[in-house]
Amino acid sequence: MNPHLVATPAAWVALVPLLPLSGAIVLGLGGAWLQHRVGPRAVSAIACGTVAAAFLLALRALATLIGLPPDDRLLVATLWPWLEVGGLAVDVALGVDPLSAVMILVVTGVGGLIHGYAIGYMHGERGLWRFFAFLNLFTFAMLILVMAENLLLLFLGWEGVGFCSWALIGFWYREPANAVAGNKAFIVNRIGDLGFVLGLVLLFWTFADAGVPTLAFRLMEPRADVLQGAQLWGMPVATLATVLLFLGATGKSAQIPLYVWLPDAMAGPTPVSALIHAATMVTAGVYMIARLHWLFALAPFTLHLIAAVGLATAFLAATLALVETDIKKVLAYSTVSQLGYMMLAMGVGAWGAGIFHLVTHAFFKAGLFLAAGSVMHALGGEQDMRRMGGLWAALPHTAVTCLVATLAIVGTPCFAGFFSKDAILWAAFSSRYGHPLLWAGGTVVAGLTAFYMVRQFVLVFLGTSRSDADARQHLHESPAVMTVPLWILAVGAVVAGYLGVPPVLGESLGVPHVLEGWFAPLFGGHAAPAGAGESHGAHAELELGLMIASVTVAAGGALLAWLMYGARRIAPERVSDALAGLPYRVLRHRYWVDEVYAAVFVRGTVSLARVLTWVDTQVIDRLVDGAATVVRGAAVLGRSIDDWLVDPAVNAVADATWAVGRAARHVQTGAVTSYLYGVLLGMLGGVLLWWSWAAAR
């Protein structure tokens, strides 16, 4: 957060997250009664109404910020002191600045549309109250994450969305696969969260040593200089802390090596996939890096690492989507790939471009997921694209909105994805942290994206139907409660791009780059793109040339998909059989990453546990049991010595003493004459002894 932003007290902004929380509490405690007594409409009204109200408050916050001077755009609600330990004082404080304003609009706006869609999709669900309670709780946690004014409160929201994600992925827990997918997401994210916690603690220690014991963003950023020169284990603290925080981001935002949970998370209901795994939770890592951009700017090594991991993730996931046949898993790998694009933007210091793509992605990816849910709703839950086809006529609203979202994600000019993707690619080329190879890799991923998305659209909506007869008889368009959100998201997939028209195009069209000015007070001091703002001369020509090249590559990918799956000019089987089918098998087996993880980490952990169990039972337990046996034997021997030697000896001494005493008792007669005789005899004996001794001398 920019230290120059002047905070404006605004207690009402706390209602933005508290409204969904109130819905979660009401439904969690009394939802079952409401659904049974009043009906599912009451449950839906509470869940959707609270999110809609939060969206209206988010719009009010946006309007308030717009009315403030750029350097004063910060609304803060400090609710109560939270922790006071030693020198650390943490408040429950929520804020809305240009960055968090964009995020809360995405969470409540797109999230609200998904809530409404879920009314139709989850119709007839007995546990509807439980579903909406967790959906509201997730919305609350995500809003806490993006509105937190300190790193500790952000982490609370971070863990909250992880918990709710686990509950929602495994919502249909009676199917073992769903429960396993939820557990996998939870465990993998905990690995990343360990890095987050270590980074958080390291930051606090470093600031505390410098006399600034705080985790508040507005207090840490002005004192970022304390990190200069600070080292731990021979490594700069800024680098070590950012690497640890990025490890947390790889879990939440599904980057290599912790991306494996997200495709399996498609086991959850489709609204969950759209909300959590397209528009909100998976972007938490991107948001965290953008929020701490001033910290990451101090660690060039970490930025290069983020860019490399982001591009590698984008490429790997895009290749996996090429051969996937599950309609939702194609979108899951697409999400991983697009998150890689966002991480690429973060790695080259293009913070605004990354958030811009986050916004456009929320619209077109949520639209794609909801369209997939509409198709599954029409086909009785079918997810295999090989059993679809020819659905345009039966599902016209779903088909048209899906087409718009597809055109947006492939980067078609005039659609939202074109503008945000171009902003990232240009930054990857022109930034001081960028490199032409990063641009080239991102452009290749754009071509792959166009291929697998056009392939999906053709297999689902065009050609002839491959569904069975029963499915074709029951084909029907989804109700309005499901299609209206689709149309709104489709509109967003077009118009959201015009928030960030690049200057090279905007100047000729008279369209300003809205987000650049909006984020300027926040990111201006750490902006990395060298060509930002250049709209003439060599930079303009170069940017236009790169833009045309990336669009051409994407068009080539789309054309190839059409020739293979639409026109059938190229048989897909010929491609899959190339090189003896090895590339196809590698992709179908997902590079065997899950198998490697299972062998190394899962089975490795189990094997280690078995080894430790053997050591415990066969070594430690035997040593303990042996020691116990020795002690027990020593005790038996000691008892035997006591019983057969000590006790008899003591008793014999006692008996002898008693016998002597008894014999001596007879001497004590009580007669004085007897005592006189005794004295006389004693004296006589003494005299005789003396005389004998004297005679002997």
Q: Give the mean pLDDT of 290-311.
A: 95
At residue 87, the pLDDT reads 77
Q: Model confidence over 659-678: pLDDT tens digits?
A: 887 777 766 767 777 777 77
Number of H helices, E strands in the chain: 31, 5
Lowest-confidence region among 13-17, 205-209, 241-245: 205-209
At residue 186, the pLDDT reads 92
- Secondary structure (3-state) at 264: helix
At residue 192, the pLDDT reads 93
Instruction: For Cα atoms 281, 99, 51, give the angle at the middle one, nearest 5 degrees.
Output: 55
At residue 124, the pLDDT reads 87
At residue 445, the pLDDT reads 96
Model pTM? 0.87
**Sequence-separated contacts (24+) of 30-36 with Cβ below 8 Å:** 31/129, 31/130, 31/132, 31/133, 32/129, 32/130, 34/129, 35/128, 35/129
For residue 599, count other CB atoms closer than 10 A to its CB.
12
Q: Give the mean pLDDT of 510-519.
A: 85
Q: Model confidence over 356-403: pLDDT tens digits?
A: 999 999 999 999 999 999 999 899 888 999 999 899 999 999 999 999
Residue with tokens 């500790």: 152
**Predicted confidence (pLDDT) at residue 243 exceeds the cutoff of 90:** yes
State residue 9 phi and psi, 5-degree precision. Answer: -60, 130
Q: Give the mean pLDDT of 61-90.
A: 90
Residue with tokens 């005679």: 695
At residue 691, the pLDDT reads 82
Q: What is the DSSP string of 298-346?
A: T-HHHHHHHHHHHHHHHHHHHHHHTT--BHHHHHHHHHHHHHHHHHHHH
**Predicted confidence (pLDDT) at residue 531 exceeds the cutoff of 50:** no
Q: Using 50, 70 and 90 to split pLDDT, how confident is the model at 230? A: confident
Q: Give the mean pLDDT of 413-430.
A: 94
- Report yes or no: 251 and 189 within 8 Å, Cβ to Cβ: yes
Higher-pLDDT residue of 504, 369: 369
**Predicted confidence (pLDDT) at residue 291 exceeds the cutoff of 70:** yes
Q: Give the mean pLDDT of 23-32.
A: 95
Higher-pLDDT residue of 532, 541: 541
Q: What percent of the chain has pLDDT over 90?
A: 63
Cα-to-chain-centroid distance, residue 20: 21
**Predicted confidence (pLDDT) at residue 88 exceeds the cutoff of 90:** no
Average pLDDT value over all residues in the chain: 90
- Report yes or no: 289 and 309 within 8 Å, Cβ to Cβ: no
At residue 295, the pLDDT reads 94
At residue 534, the pLDDT reads 39
For the chain, give percent helix, strand, coil, nearest 5.
75, 5, 20
Q: Model confidence over 541-558: pLDDT tens digits?
A: 899 999 999 999 999 999
Q: Give the mean pLDDT of 85-109.
A: 91
At residue 526, the pLDDT reads 56
At residue 395, the pLDDT reads 94
**Predicted confidence (pLDDT) at residue 140 exceeds the cutoff of 80:** yes
At residue 541, the pLDDT reads 86
Q: Model confidence over 468-483: pLDDT tens digits?
A: 877 777 788 999 999 9
Q: Give the mean pLDDT of 171-199.
A: 92
**Predicted confidence (pLDDT) at residue 3 exceeds the cutoff of 60:** no
Residues 244/247/252/257 CA torsion (nearest 10 deg): -170
**Predicted confidence (pLDDT) at residue 532 exceeds the cutoff of 50:** no
Q: Model confidence over 47-63: pLDDT tens digits?
A: 999 999 999 999 999 99
Q: Using 50, 70 and 90 to split pLDDT, how confident is the model at 658? A: confident
Q: Using 50, 70 and 90 to split pLDDT, how confident is the model at 538? A: low
**Predicted confidence (pLDDT) at residue 1 exceeds the cutoff of 90:** no
For residue 432, count CB atoms less than 10 angstroms from its CB and return exposed for 0-12, middle for 13-18, buried for 19 or more. exposed
Q: What percent of the chain has pLDDT over 70?
A: 96
